[in-house]
């Protein structure tokens, strides 16, 4: 994983254009009445507006976002700490590398039943799922960033008398920062996935519960309205992460 | 002139029967090299002869396997306050401005902020970069980046300046101007300089003596005197017959080593 390259196109703007194009096609196809599973987007928008008005979405989203924060914040803090330790200390890396790699590529949804057994059917399961989904990508990116630190920068700092603490704080940490931020950006995307997966599997709280409910009762326009909400949350968090990234890594 | 800027005097370097091995590879064997206080010595040799390794050991960045290195009156066991290093790849902090980069050595050595800023500004002026204090390294050309590297090295008023192929990735025209500036700064600051290079012209033009290393394992093959008059930066030394003859003599030694 490398930090964002200069001259990369504005992902946000390109994404909006693509979404806009899809919406037009969707409205046309929906208007042709092909299937009950493709309602016109205008009806979805109306349903979304209604659910927003009666507080359904706000209630569900508030629950979801609470779980997102409760899972992602510990994942970010712990992920960065573990990643820094793995990047800097070979012993820690040898101990944890296998686990991190195995769990990063594992289908983690399979572990949600274990979490349910552990925590019971509660929103803690959702937070734990969020944590699990986002933790490993943050660890791996942070570790990679630390390990990619230029050898000559370390030599340079040592020439001027830097000890371990100064090396860590003034060379390794700032060197790794772009990769750490990339890890957090990828992590927050994973976190939203974890949030939805967790809520759908326990089908008790949040937007995930609404998805299952409207899906099972064939309220297709409402179902799409919730899906749109989930997408908006995913986009918003990704954008927020990008803004934070740009503020912290201005020198790139 | 020297007394004004250099509060600290240049010190000699003694490399005594130093050997270094990396795993199965014997990098350097019985290296013997003495550099007088204030002397400018070039180190040249084919790629892989261990010249950068030697420089890193003098800087205290790599331990010696056998023998010892003495800088001033200190046996080198790690980085010391006498030495500054200029790196081939500049080793600038990409996230810091020119000003902060030049302050970095002073910061690590615990110099207070106000004094740090002032000393750094002076060093930046010395290398001709005044006005670029707020620029980031990525906004500068290679030659300018290396000037920042030199300013950072000079800011701590080193007694010994170690340079690892500092001009290797700089274009020829910029390099010549930079070499002249280096000679001028050296004559003002009175530092002992060890310069590792793979350019024969550069070694002859800059150094009082040139140590030629032989490859695999690296040994000091010969130490060549460079009896060209100083200051060389104001005379047209590069165009003289003496200069050409010395470069040719160095080439004849190096050709046999390939």
Query: Which residue from A156, A158, A174 is facing B95, i.e. has the nearest CB?
Result: A174
Q: What are phi and psi of A27, to 5 degrees?
A: -60, -45
Q: What is the pLDDT of residue A5?
A: 54
Q: Over 60: is that where the pLDDT of B185 sits?
A: yes
For residue B63, say if its preceding peptide bond is cis, omega within 30 degrees of 0: no
CA distance B54 to B75: 15
Structural domain range at position A136 = 38-248
Interchain CB distance below 8 Å, A156 and B85? yes
State the average pLDDT over residues B216-234: 90
State the average pLDDT over residues B66-93: 94
Q: A-chain residues within 8 Å CB-CB of B109?
A: 160-161
| Residue of chain B with shortest Cα separation from A249 | B95
Q: Over 90: is that where the pLDDT of B169 sits?
A: no
Q: A-chain residues within 8 Å CB-CB of B105?
A: 159-160
**Considering the domain boundaries, does residue A168 fall inside one?**
yes
A-interface mutation test, from B59, B78, B91, most A Cβ less than 10 A away: B91
B-interface mutation test, from A149, A150, A159, A166, most B Cβ less than 10 A away: A159
**Considering the domain boundaries, does residue A201 fall inside one?**
yes
Q: What is the CATH number of domain B2-82+158-257?
A: 3.40.50.300
CA distance A119 to A179: 33
Shortest Cα distance, chain A CAs vs residue B186, angstroms: 20
Q: What is the pLDDT of residue A20?
A: 87
Query: Which residue from A150, A153, A162 is facing B108, i.e. has the nearest CB?
Result: A162
**Considering the domain boundaries, does residue A46 fall inside one?**
yes
Residues 6+ apart with CB under 8 A from A100: A86, A136, A139, A140
CA distance B142 to B102: 16
Interchain CB distance below 8 Å, A156 and B138? no
Tokens of A137: 């990508």
Interchain CB distance below 8 Å, B79 and A160? yes
User: How confident is residue A33, by pLDDT bands cut at 50, 70 and 90?
Assistant: confident
| Nearest alpha-carbon partner for B213 in B3, B15, B4, B1 | B15
> To the nearest whole percent, how much of chain B has pLDDT over 90?
79
For residue B231, say if its preceding peptide bond is cis, omega within 30 degrees of 0: yes
**Considering the domain boundaries, does residue A2 fall inside one?**
no
Q: What is the pLDDT of residue B42?
A: 96
DSSP string, A131-150: HHHHHHHHHHHHHHHHHTS-
Residue A36: Cβ within 10 Å count: 9
Q: Which of A41-55, A143-157, B200-214 has the lowest mean pLDDT?
A: A41-55
Against a cut of 0.95, is the pTM above it?
Answer: no
Q: How far is CA B140 from the centre of its chain?
A: 21
Condensed to tens digits (0 to 9), the pLDDT of residues A112-170 reads: 888 888 888 888 899 999 999 999 999 999 999 999 999 999 999 999 999 999 999 99
The number of domains in chain A is: 1
**Considering the domain boundaries, does residue A200 fall inside one?**
yes
Q: Over 70: is that where the pLDDT of B242 sits?
A: yes
State the average pLDDT over residues A175-189: 93
Condensed to tens digits (0 to 9), the pLDDT of residues B22-72 reads: 988 889 999 999 999 999 999 999 887 889 999 999 999 999 999 999 999
CATH number at A127 reads: 1.10.3720.10
Interchain CB distance below 8 Å, A161 and B81? yes
**Residue A190 and residue A133 in contact, taking contact as beta carbons nearer than 8 Å:** yes
Q: Alpha helix locations (H) across chain A?
A: 11-31, 41-53, 56-88, 90-105, 112-119, 123-147, 151-159, 164-167, 173-202, 206-216, 220-248
Give the 3-state DSSP-derived string for B181-216, with helices as H, strands as E and coil as C. HHHHHHHHHCCEEEEECCCHHHHHHHCCEEEEEECC
ipTM: 0.91
Which residues of chain A have a Cβ shorter than 8 Å from any chain B Cβ? 150, 152-153, 155-162, 166, 170-171, 174, 177, 249, 251
Domain-by-domain residue ranges, chain B? 2-82+158-257, 92-157
What are the C-alpha distances in Å from B34 to residues A64, A102, B37, B48, B220? 71, 55, 10, 22, 11
**Considering the domain boundaries, does residue A74 fall inside one?**
yes
**Considering the domain boundaries, does residue A33 fall inside one?**
no
């Amino acid at each position: 994983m490398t930090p964002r390259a200069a001259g990369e196109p504005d992902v946000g703007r390109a994404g909006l254009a693509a979404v806009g194009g899809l919406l037009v096609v969707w409205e046309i196809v929906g208007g042709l009445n092909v299937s009950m599973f493709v309602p016109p987007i205008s009806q979805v928008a109306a349903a979304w507006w209604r659910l927003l008005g009666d507080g359904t979405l706000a209630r569900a989203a508030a629950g979801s976002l609470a779980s997102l924060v409760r899972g992602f914040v510990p994942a970010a803090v712990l992920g960065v700490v573990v990643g820094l330790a793995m990047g800097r200390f070979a012993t820690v890396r040898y101990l944890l590398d296998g686990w991190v790699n195995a769990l990063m590529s594992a289908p983690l949804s399979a572990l949600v039943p274990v979490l349910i057994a552990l925590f019971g059917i509660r929103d803690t399961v959702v937070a734990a799922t969020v944590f699990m989904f986002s933790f490993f990508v943050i660890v791996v990116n942070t570790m990679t960033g630390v390990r990619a630190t230029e050898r000559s920068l370390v030599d340079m700092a040592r020439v001027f008398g830097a000890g371990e603490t100064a090396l860590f704080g003034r060379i390794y940490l700032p060197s790794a920062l772009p990769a750490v931020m990339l890890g957090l950006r990828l992590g927050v995307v994973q976190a939203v996935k974890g949030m939805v997966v967790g809520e759908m599997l326990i089908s008790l709280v949040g937007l995930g519960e609404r998805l299952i409910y409207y899906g099972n009762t064939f309220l297709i326009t409402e179902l799409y309205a919730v899906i749109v909400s989930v997408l908006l949350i995913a986009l918003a968090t990704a954008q927020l992460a990008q803004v934070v990234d740009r503020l912290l890594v201005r020198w790139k | 002139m020297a007394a004004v800027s250099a509060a600290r005097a240049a010190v000699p370097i003694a490399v005594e029967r130093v050997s270094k091995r990396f795993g199965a590879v014997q990098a350097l064997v019985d290296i013997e090299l003495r550099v007088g206080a204030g002397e400018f010595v070039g180190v040249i040799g084919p790629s892989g002869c261990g010249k950068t390794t030697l420089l890193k050991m003098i800087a205290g960045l790599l331990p010696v396997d056998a023998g010892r290195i003495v800088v001033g009156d200190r046996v080198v066991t790690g980085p010391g306050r006498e030495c500054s290093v200029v790196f081939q790849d500049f080793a600038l902090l990409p996230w810091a401005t020119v000003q902060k980069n030049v302050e970095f050595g002073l910061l690590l050595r615990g110099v207070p902020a106000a004094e740090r800023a002032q000393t750094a500004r002076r060093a930046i002026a010395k290398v001709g970069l005044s006005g670029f204090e707020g620029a980031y390294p990525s906004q500068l050309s290679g030659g300018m980046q290396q000037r920042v590297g030199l300013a950072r090295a000079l800011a701590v008023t080193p007694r010994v300046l170690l340079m690892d192929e500092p001009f290797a990735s700089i274009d020829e025209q910029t390099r010549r101007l930079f070499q002249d500036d280096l000679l001028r700064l050296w004559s003002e600051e009175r530092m002992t300089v060890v310069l590792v290079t793979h350019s024969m012209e550069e070694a002859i033009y800059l150094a009082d003596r040139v140590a030629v290393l032989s490859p695999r394992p690296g040994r000091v093959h010969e130490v060549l005197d460079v009896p060209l008059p100083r200051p060389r930066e104001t005379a047209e030394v590069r165009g003289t017959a003496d200069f050409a003859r010395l470069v040719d003599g160095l080439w004849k030694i190096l050709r046999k080593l390939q």
